[in-house]
Chains A and B, each alone.
Chain A
Amino acid sequence: MTHDCDTPVPLTELIAYHAGELPVGDAERIEAHYFGCASCSERLETLSRLDTGVCALVHAGGLMAGSTAAMVQHARARGIVVREYRTDPGEHVQCTAGPEDQLLVTRYGGLQGITSVDVNFRGAIMGTDQVIEMQMIDMPVDQATGDLVLIAPAKLNQSFPALEIEVRLTAASPEGSRQEGPYYYHHRPWSLLDDDERRRRAGR
């Protein structure tokens, strides 16, 4: 069954309502409308389903995105198992992904005053001449820390072979583009590590 509405609430307004951004009077007007409108209440319900779905995806360790340190803290507070590594330009990190991890967080420092970077990953698979390359465009920098905070599914990292990873960032600035890094990650599969090595790679 389809429901029509002659005066649908604009999606921008439904989103603002869902996000709790509207003044009381506007929120009450929208409530008065959707309580009597099957179409608009279904559209609002769609936002609620997306909200629940994104939360479920993060809980399942299935989201890859630029994030913030505060959101990572929020994930930890909700019981999500996070392994986190942080590097400044030129630094090397010994890393892995444990069997219990849900989210793997990598933070790239030294980006104060920058709001956006393009990310280039280059991972050489040890013992082979194969290379994994990945690029991410316009990734936002966490302004509270000056770090690029990337969250990734731990399952993805658990599937990686031993990798020597080099990450280079390109930041756009009024003076032109500026290179940051490289940042070095030495990934080893959990199963290949002894207890001492696992502790050494515990992260934050």
Chain B
Amino acid sequence: MPVPEPIRDTSDAELASAVILGGAAGNSAAEAELCRRFGRRVRLYGRRRLQDSAVDDLVQRVMLIVLAKLRAGQVDAPARIDSFVLGTARFVTRELSRAGSRDAPLDQTMPVPLDETRSDPLAVQSLSACLESLAGRERSVVALTFFHDQNATEIGVALGMEPGHVRISRYRAIARLRTCMGLGPEEVVA
């Protein structure tokens, strides 16, 4: 099955089917795009569960398993490739969480550099200006959320706020930051 051009407009299921049909010979364009696309989602998944240093490992291991299974025709439902990748990410995360399991070296590399599964860093100066435009309390909530990794309950205790009030403040601040940084369409600010 040929991969429609441009490949970025191809659906996840079409990409998976193209890799399956490429078989052992491979379909390098489809495989690369599949890794770019799902590598980012696996990275988001791993960030919540693993130390930063282990996330690259997770991305590579998951995508190599997925590609191997697709090439071997062992994925029954390419239309549900998203579920297959998520299930693999859950399995590999459990493996990596076990002591010593990260020692096993990888004998292959992904068809794309790991950098292509990472998002671009934000311009710090622009972010600083956007943060300055927030109300003082919102800025504090953002700092405690992202830098101190505190949840709404913890921030509420620290600043003497109800958790629900923290969530509203956090939501407003993040929605404003997204808009200010040009990071996508405006979200409704409650």
Contacts and interface: CB of A to CB of B under 8 A. Distances in A.
Interface of A: 1, 11-12, 15-21, 31-32, 34-36, 38, 41-58, 60, 62-68, 70-71, 74-75, 115-116, 136-144, 151
B158 A142 contact: yes
Interface of B is mostly: helix
A16 B30 CA distance: 34
5 contacts: A11-B174, A41-B41, A56-B122, A66-B136, A68-B158
Most A CB within 10 A of own CB, among B119, B136, B171 = B136
B118 to A, nearest CB: 10
A106 B138 CA distance: 19
B182 to A, nearest CB: 10
A71 B143 CA distance: 9
A54 B160 contact: no
Contact of B122 (A16, A49, A62, A151): A49
Nearest to B181: A50
A137 B135 contact: yes
SS class, residues of chain A in contact with chain B: helix
B63 interface: no
B75 to A, nearest CB: 14
A68 B136 contact: no
Contact of B146 (A54, A64, A67): A54
Contacts of B40: 41, 45
Instruction: State which size class the interface on B falls in.
Output: 35 or more
Interface in B121-158: 121-122, 124-125, 127-128, 131-132, 135-137, 139-140, 142-148, 151-153, 157-158
Interface string B150-182: 011100011111000001001100110110010
B143 A141 contact: no
B44 interface: yes
A36 B121 contact: no
A41 B125 CA distance: 25
Contact of A21 (B45, B47, B152): B152
B146 A1 contact: no
A139 B137 contact: yes
B151 A20 contact: yes
Contact of A55 (B86, B147, B160): B147
A36 B159 contact: no
B109 interface: no
B3 to A, nearest CB: 15
Contacts of B183: 46, 49-50
B15 to A, nearest CB: 12
Interface string B5-49: 000110010000000000000000000000001101100110110
Given A20-B151, A21-B152, A41-B40, A46 B184 contact: yes
